[in-house]
Amino acid sequence: MAGRDRVAVGAVVSGLVVAAFATMGLGSSVAASVDDEVVTLTVGVIQDLDTPNVTAGFLVSSYEVWNLQYATLTDKAAADFATEPSLAESWVEGDGGLSYTYTLREGLEWSDGEPLTADDVAFTINTSRDQAWANHSSITANLDATVIDDRTVKITSSVPDPKLPIMDVYIVPEHVWGPVAEGDVTTYEALDGVGSGAFTLREWKSGQSWTMDANPSYFKGEPAIDVIVFRVFTNADAMVAALQQGEIDFAHSVPSSSFEGLGDEAGIESVFGQQGGFSELAMNGMAGGIGDGHPALVDIDVRHAIHRAIDKQALFDRVILGLGSPGVTLSVSPDPVWQPEIPVEEQFTYDPAAANQLLDEAGYVDTDGNGIREMPDGSQELVFRYAERSESDIAAPVRELITGFLEAVGIGTTVDVYDDGQLTEVVGSGEYDLFVWGWTPFVDPDPMLSYFTCDQVTFDAEVIGYNDANWCSEEYDALYAAQNQELDRERRIEIVHEMLRLFYAESTYIVLFEDADLQAYRTDRFTGWTRQPAETGPVLFSNTSPTYFLLQPIDGGGGDDGGLGTGALIAIIVGVLVLVGGGAVVVMRSRSNRDERD
């Protein structure tokens, strides 16, 4: 290559490098200078929307959009989920609790200025029921809504429904959704941005971010924040770094490895938000009569022995690093009122000696001295297939601990790893012994309780039900039916407690620990971060996400004066160094050329 060419290539490469590094300062300045007066909250998330369409989406991130965009007839209090007025300012019970007549607030408007009337409410309830909308029909399946006048709507349930008068279905605008044909509803893009909540969707850049604007027509008044930007990270550690750098104001789903110590950093508060999510060790109860579960697991003594053999405190300390709580019985709601107190003396606390004794007395003894017990009739050893989720971050440490605990009481395991789809099929076909998975409950306990009724047991592998404990109890079913139609809340709570004690005693499902939603936010830009429920819940991505409306900007907090920051200064220094270095290389190479020519 001639010297002239080499100088040219050197210049091009140096130019590219310099250009890239030069943007270190420029990019930041540009970003900071845009929309200085607009109050923007930037939320870091690791999950993009699946779709903003409320009839089709199912991810947590999408629920956050709907919580903000679509108000409901009744709301849930931030502190304790108590029912509060929302679009409806009042309601009156009728027909012995089978119907409620709701009166809407006066002057309600959609964000596009159209009036919000009882017609919108009736349209949402009746259409979602008829078309079985994914996020509505579990509530509206038995409901019928009749418009009395513009501000009054009567909702009647065909069966006693203890959830009433709570009406937390997202009310959608009829003038937007009405013209969408039934066959097109689930594929409607739903980027119209018309809503009645505090914020409405302005744009969604798939894989990057979505932006929501304050709704000036919001019935509680215009929010103090003008814009919320949800920024999608595919690298959770980068999201934490962005919070530390002040690029974002809030981080959702902080990895546990980064969580410890994060709250001690200046200007950052960490939140340990519990919403009732838990992980369980499930055993094959063989209620469906299909598959090939180990016969020992049908014996309640074996299940109790396994329960006694597992050190939940060790799992809590070593797997989720103490970020949650050790599990007791099934968690059916983020609202702790639904959880029964199980006295310690009734709990299957960790006691390997007691587990050994239970197994010995039931006739499961190790006759061949290989360390593994056999069935009482000697037909087979107590070696269980342990199914592990490949998609779980905690699968490996949980497996190591649990298989170790079982081995200590003479129970062997073989480990099979499945992705979630495969595991669903394996469980549905009954071809498993043990597996570890988890659930996150809704606020009302009914859905979680329903999963363990007999009609949710899988009897045909082609029609998989929810009951992955593969356990069936007439007593439990009777209690479920009773709570499902019990209109007296206190009595209903008692029934639910009774169900959970029964479920706990049966031990087909051993709740290992309740995990938490780890969050963190900056304290130097906004005040008003509110947990739902108080003291234990998360601040954002909670059940109804009240925080956004309550946030107030701190004067001057986190502002960027647009001047040269540290980044820009370092950029200039590095740029100069690169220029000097590049120049030196070019000079040296030119000299070398001359040498060659000479």
The footprint of other proteins on residues 135-194 (CB under 8 A) is 137-138, 186-187, 189
Least distance between other proteins and beta carbon 150 (Å): 32
Closest CA to 431 of 474, 397, 464: 464
Among 345, 463, 474, 563, binds other proteins (CB under 8 A): 463
State which of positions 69-128 bind other proteins (CB under 8 A): none
Closest CA to 41 of 196, 199, 258: 199
Q: How far apart (Å, rounded) are the C-alpha atoms in residues 1 and 186?
A: 61
Least distance between other proteins and beta carbon 2 (Å): 6
Pairing of strands 143-149, 99-104: unpaired
Q: How far apart (Å, rounded) are the C-alpha atoms in residues 216 and 193?
A: 13
56 binding other proteins? (CB under 8 A): yes
For residues 139 and 169, the answer to whether their CB atoms sit within 8 Å is yes
Among 7, 14, 15, 23, binds other proteins (CB under 8 A): 23
Select from 147-155, 366-374, 395-403, 424-432 the region that touches other proteins (CB under 8 A): 424-432
Among 8, 11, 58, 534, binds other proteins (CB under 8 A): 58
Q: Which is nearer to other proteins, 100 or 188 (CB)?
A: 188
Select from 31-39, 334-342, 347-355, 532-540 the region that touches other proteins (CB under 8 A): 31-39
Per-residue contact track with other proteins, 549 to 588, x per CB under 8 A? Answer: -----------------xx--xx--x--------------
288 binding other proteins? (CB under 8 A): no
Least distance between other proteins and beta carbon 249 (Å): 11
Select from 23-31, 268-276, 339-347, 524-532 the region that touches other proteins (CB under 8 A): 23-31
- Omega before 165 cis (within 30°)? yes
The residues with which 414 forms a beta bridge, in sequence order, are: 385
274 binding other proteins? (CB under 8 A): no
Least distance between other proteins and beta carbon 539 (Å): 20
Least distance between other proteins and beta carbon 484 (Å): 14
For residues 372 and 410, the answer to whether their CB atoms sit within 8 Å is yes
DSSP letters, 256-270, are: HHHHTTGGGSTTEEE
CA atoms within 13 A on the CB side of 226: 6
Q: How far apart (Å, rounded) are the C-alpha atoms in residues 544 and 531?
A: 11
Among 34, 181, 266, 353, binds other proteins (CB under 8 A): 34
Select from 376-384, 438-446, 506-514, 556-564 the region that touches other proteins (CB under 8 A): 438-446
State which of positions 359-418 bind other proteins (CB under 8 A): 391
Task: Enter the tokens of residue 82.
Answer: 């108590």
Pairing of strands 383-389, 434-439: parallel
Q: Which is nearer to other proteins, 56 or 290 (CB)?
A: 56
Among 8, 11, 35, 130, binds other proteins (CB under 8 A): 35
Q: Which is nearer to other proteins, 186 or 256 (CB)?
A: 186
CB atoms under 10 Å from CB of 374, counted, come to: 20
Least distance between other proteins and beta carbon 133 (Å): 9
Q: Where are the alpha helices (H) located in 204-255, listed in sequence order?
A: 236-245
For residues 386 and 434, the answer to whether their CB atoms sit within 8 Å is yes
Least distance between other proteins and beta carbon 426 (Å): 11
User: How is residue 171 annotated by DSSP?
Assistant: P
Q: What are phi and psi of 230, to 5 degrees?
A: -100, 115
134 binding other proteins? (CB under 8 A): yes
Q: Which is nearer to other proteins, 24 or 314 (CB)?
A: 24
State which of positions 205-264 bind other proteins (CB under 8 A): 205-209, 211, 227, 229-235, 238-239, 241-242, 244-245, 247
The one-letter code for the residue type at 183 is G
Q: Which is nearer to other proteins, 400 or 420 (CB)?
A: 420
Select from 14-22, 162-170, 251-259, 490-498 the region that touches other proteins (CB under 8 A): 14-22
CA angle 256/258/261 to nearest 5° reads 105
Write down how long the chain is: 598
Select from 26-34, 265-273, 507-515, 522-530 the region that touches other proteins (CB under 8 A): 26-34
Q: How far apart (Å, rounded) are the C-alpha atoms in residues 9 and 6?
A: 5
CA atoms within 13 A on the CB side of 7: 13
Q: Which is nearer to other proteins, 182 or 535 (CB)?
A: 182
Per-residue contact track with other proteins, 326 to 365, x per CB under 8 A? Answer: ----------------------------------------
Select from 174-182, 298-306, 476-484, 590-598 the region that touches other proteins (CB under 8 A): 590-598
Least distance between other proteins and beta carbon 299 (Å): 28
The residues with which 511 forms a beta bridge, in sequence order, are: 280
Among 42, 72, 128, 279, binds other proteins (CB under 8 A): 42
Closest CA to 249 of 62, 589, 510, 523: 523
The one-letter code for the residue type at 423 is L
Q: What are phi and psi of 412, to 5 degrees?
A: -95, 160
Q: Which is nearer to other proteins, 100 or 204 (CB)?
A: 204
Strand order across the beta sheet in which 88-94 lies = 88-94, 99-104, 152-157, 143-149
Among 7, 18, 24, 365, binds other proteins (CB under 8 A): 24
Q: How far apart (Å, rounded) are the C-alpha atoms in residues 50 and 135?
A: 14
**Size of interface with other proteins, in residues (CB under 8 A):** 81
Q: Which is nearer to other proteins, 54 or 358 (CB)?
A: 54
Kindly tell me the number of DSSP H helices and DSSP E strands found in the chain. Answer: 17, 21
Least distance between other proteins and beta carbon 24 (Å): 4
Q: Where are the alpha helices (H) located in 265-394, listed in sequence order?
A: 300-309, 312-318, 352-361
